[in-house]
Structure 1
Amino acid sequence: SSIPQLIAEASMQDPLSDRERECLFWVSEGKTTDEVALILGVSSNTVNSYITHAIQKFAASNRAMAIATAIRSGII
């Protein structure tokens, strides 16, 4: 999938949960998984799960692509 295609699909609706969106936002701001976990009051494993779900929902190959898609589509 190309990034423009992912953006088009994502812009039709926001497929992310609030927590998935929050995790992508904080990672996009440069926070580590452990820092995001501390901010949200959850475990690092939980943060990784949220990010993994976001990656899958965007059909992205990694977290950077998921973040780029979310930013370009206005989700975060």
Structure 2
Amino acid sequence: MSARLLSPSAFRLDAALVGLKDSFQWLEQVTRFWRAYETRQHLAALDEHMLRDIGITRMDACIETRRQPWDIRGI
């Protein structure tokens, strides 16, 4: 092992990077919520032919569109 890996400054840098990552978790979550909202709005805009192509009914699309942004299953 090199002396750099064992130096106190290396541990401080690692701790700072972990803290930085933790501080951006809220942004990742908001991004997921926004993506869910946007995708559901696009789904609502599809016509009957396009919905049939992806194998869902208008009722399924309406149900999906009404879900809350934080209601994300399968992620």
State the TM-score bracket (shorter-chain normalisation): 0.3 to 0.5
Q: Whose helix proportion is higher, 1 or 2?
A: 2
Per chain length, whose mean CA-contact separation is higher, i.e. which structure has more relative contact order (CA < 8 Å, sep 6+)?
1
Please report the TM-score for the alignment, with normalisation by the length of structure 1: 0.34
After TM superposition, the score normalised by the length of structure 2 is 0.35
